[in-house]
Amino acid sequence: MNSVANPEQLPIVELGSLDELWFQVAGTRCNLSCTHCFISCSPHNDSFGFLSFEEVERRLLEAVEWGVKEFYFTGGEPFLNPQLVAMLERTLAFGPATVLTNGTVLKPEWLERLRAAEQGSLYSLEFRVSIDGPTPELNDPIRGPRTFERAMQGVDLLVQFGFLPIVTMTRVWDEGQDHEILGRFRDVLRQRGYGRARLKVLPRLLLGAEANRTCGYSSSDRVTAEMLIGYDQSQLVCQHSRVVTDRGIAVCPILIDSPGAILGDTLQAANRSFAVTHGACATCYQFGAICTNPSHK
């Protein structure tokens, strides 16, 4: 490896191994319109569409040859896709599955089926429920009126069915407050009967709706080729992930709506290098492994 990078050289990252295959299963359709959403999902955003059961199954079969380790389902709100439960049942025959949900549309009959599917599988089914802080005062201005209580009811329901959801929050406070906020959230969840709460904090991504709300990334928020020298590239999501969307295979779940993010129609076509020149790539570089579960490290 060169020890000095040419200043004009692009910061190129190869796909090292395809460990995580993501499904943009609900496209950009969501029942909520969070102010910080990095792909501006909403009830009316159809820029990416739903995936079909057949499409997911086809990719699962394709994933076997690639040695994919884990599968993730995201949107939008994945549970808006009426075939999601069947897709998860099928996926658990191939590997572990994680769903990123806002927790507000869950139904007991779905969770009953999913609990049975997980019990019959070798693999874990994880739920990551997005709630941006331990109080409605922190969460609701970002995610919408009453969304704190509705999402917490979703957490209650998951716990009732024996799941251990990972409450995932975007850091809308100073990093120095993490310890205090996490402690408060654990107390709130304990009071509701979730005694061994699992929590994950995500950095804010200045894209989509969040870029409209703030100033977005500046031109200096960039990864350079020199910054990649000696850096553990497995910290970057694009080094070990790809995303199935209805428009093709995208490089990572954060950038699907960004120029150049769709790499091809098949996993083979998407097995190519990517220049991490977007502002969000700098956030990924700084914080590392931001999209995967804590058990993945």
Partner 1 sequence: MRLAFFGGIYSNHLALAAAIADARSRGVDAMWCLGDLGGFGPHPDRTCELIRNNNVSVVQGNYDHSIGHGLNDCQCGYTDPRDNHFAQLSYDYTLTHNCDDHRTWMRTLPAQQRVEFDGVRLLLCHGSPRRTNEFLWDSTTSTQFLAKMCDNNACDVILGTHTGLHWQRTWDERGAVSTKSRGFINVGVLGRPENDGTINVWYTLLRTGGDVGAGEAPLPWEVEFVPLIYDHERLACEMRDERLPDEFIQTILTGWWTTCLEVLPSKERRRGQW
Q: Which residues of the shown chain bind partner 1 in the complex (CB under 8 A)?
A: 17, 19, 63-70, 94-96, 118, 122-126, 162-164, 178-179, 182, 196, 198-200, 234, 293-297
286's enclosing H/E stretch is: helix 279-287
* Nearer CB in complex with partner 1: 181/263: 181
* Nearer CB in complex with partner 1: 68/206: 68
Positions of E strands within the chain: 12-13, 20-24, 70-74, 97-101, 125-130, 166-170, 198-202, 241-245, 248-250, 262-264, 274-275
CB of 142 to partner 1, least distance (A): 23
Residue 138, CA distances (Å) to 133, 147, 168, 246, 248 in order? 6, 11, 14, 34, 36
Q: Hey, what are 82's tokens?
A: 């009426």
Q: What's the CA gap between 166 and 131, in Å, rounded? A: 10
* Nearer CB in complex with partner 1: 76/96: 96
CB of 234 to partner 1, least distance (A): 7
CB of 239 to partner 1, least distance (A): 12
Q: What's the CA gap between 118 and 9, in Å, rounded? A: 47
Q: 93 φ, ψ to 5°?
A: -80, -15
CB of 280 to partner 1, least distance (A): 20
For the chain, what is the total number of helices (H) and then of strands (E)? 8, 11
Burial class (CB in 10 A: 0-12, 13-18, 19+), 232: exposed
CB of 245 to partner 1, least distance (A): 22
* Nearer CB in complex with partner 1: 139/293: 293
Q: Which amino acid is at 31?
A: N
CB of 192 to partner 1, least distance (A): 17
* Nearer CB in complex with partner 1: 17/214: 17
Instruction: For helices 53-66 and 84-91, give the axis angle rounded to 10 degrees.
Output: 20
CB of 229 to partner 1, least distance (A): 19
* Nearer CB in complex with partner 1: 33/123: 123
* Nearer CB in complex with partner 1: 11/165: 165
Burial class (CB in 10 A: 0-12, 13-18, 19+), 196: exposed
* Nearer CB in complex with partner 1: 46/232: 232
CB of 202 to partner 1, least distance (A): 12
